[in-house]
A = this chain, B = another copy of it.
């Protein structure tokens, strides 16, 4: 290639790409010393939480009973420091750290639910190490806690990290009870205003979504309106079913696979797909 072209190409392209009009809305300017939370730092935060919550499974695999408090001490301090840097708020960082024992308590119920719900599972070890739902629900519960503390953006980052890792997309604003599990999980979507009771089980490909959403006068969707389903306790939804809108799926309802559901159900209901044609 002619050097002339090369010498021209670089300044011309750089100039176009640095133009304010070109950048409009797509450039996150580091302003007043604040920049976006870094990906590696959020990854470290999530990994520390996983390691504190499930010691020996995540983080240092060689931890033993006698050294466990030392490990947890170092990890909790590091987590606190990273949260202070990332949230820029020591009070929120401390509050989050104090929630860790409660987070572990509820995650224990999720592990139990996954184990009891799958005949292929041989042990708690297999659940904690190999079931994508554990990664997804852990990230969700961390993110939900941060969202309750008023932290912006970071909760979505954290659930999206699990979405990329597992194919399970849980919005951090959703509310999810204990003993929650998802089998296989790829393709599951749980929307921002979902309310899910205790002891609920989903299978792969289930969507708990919005049916439609009202637009404001300028034609933009109105934010913040409840628009996703409520699942009461003990509901099971089989694979690839779609439940849309602010409806209530009654306690103990079983929704079969491949179902498209936009209306509320009574407690104990059984909802099945139309028959296939042979």
Contact = CB atoms under 8 A, between A and B. Distances in A.
B6 A66 contact: yes
A208 to B, nearest CB: 11
Q: How many chain copies?
A: 6
A167 B166 CA distance: 8
Given A56-B27, A77-B10, A186-B186, A257 B274 contact: no
B189 A184 contact: yes
Interface string A174-190: 00000000001011010
B70 A223 contact: no
Contacts of A117: 221
A269 B260 contact: no
A39 to B, nearest CB: 9
Contacts of A242: 239-240, 257-258
A268 interface: no
Given A13-B100, A204-B207, A244-B257, 13 more contacts: A1-B90, A7-B66, A9-B94, A10-B66, A30-B62, A119-B213, A132-B160, A186-B187, A189-B204, A205-B205, A260-B273, A274-B274, A274-B275
19 contacts: A13-B76, A14-B72, A16-B101, A27-B55, A29-B63, A30-B56, A70-B70, A70-B72, A70-B74, A116-B220, A119-B224, A122-B152, A125-B153, A186-B187, A209-B239, A239-B242, A240-B258, A265-B278, A272-B278
